[in-house]
Amino acid sequence: MVKSLYSGVSGLKTHQQKMDVIGNNIANVNTTGYKTSVVTFADVYYQTKRTPSGATATTGGVNPRQVGYGVKMNTTTNNMSQSGFTYSDSIYDMALDGEGFFQLMDGAGNIFYTRAGVFNIDDSGYLVDSNGYHVLGISGDSEGQNPGSDIIRMVIPDTEANCSSAT
């Protein structure tokens, strides 16, 4: 009887862990670039009550008889499949179609990766995310300059007052 209680308790504890992951997915449903998590389970172990035997000339083989003693959480993995696109009012917001990540760099030079494409321009004209991290892009040209990761700076030239007019 104690063994059956352990089996039930392990199932309840594992179910609670799955509910925690689902709760985290729900809590982040409006987080830009969030990827949901999926839980898989595994058997803890079995006790063999009867060993298997092979067939003979006159009788067939016997299958093993085993009793399981519970379940455990095997893995928690992120669902990295493509999600839908959402319209944005900002001209600086971007989305990735397919695989890949945006590359960001903080002030200390640490590199981060994200799929959240909510960007803005800072006071110096650099493309930044909501944390103020600089967005890195690939530079290079067709004339032999090797590509590299550079901070993206948006340069908007000043216009003279007489170049614009109200209509």
* pLDDT tens readout for residues 25-72: 999 988 877 888 999 988 877 778 888 888 888 888 888 888 777 888
Q: Do 32 and 58 touch, CB atoms closer than 8 A?
A: no
Q: Do 75 and 40 touch, CB atoms closer than 8 A?
A: yes
Q: Do 89 and 61 touch, CB atoms closer than 8 A?
A: no
User: Can you tell me the distance from the alpha carbon of 121 to that of 109, in angstroms, rounded to the nearest whole number?
Assistant: 19
What is the model's pLDDT at position 27? Answer: 95
End-to-end CA distance of the chain: 87
More confident residue, 59 or 166: 59
More confident residue, 35 or 153: 35
More confident residue, 111 or 158: 111
What is the model's pLDDT at position 163? Answer: 56
pLDDT class of 95 with cuts at 50, 70, 90: confident
Q: Looking at residues 74-100, what average pLDDT do you find?
A: 82
Q: Looking at residues 135-144, what average pLDDT do you find?
A: 69
User: Can you tell me the distance from the alpha carbon of 113 to that of 126, in angstroms, rounded to the nearest whole number?
Assistant: 17
What is the model's pLDDT at position 133? Answer: 92
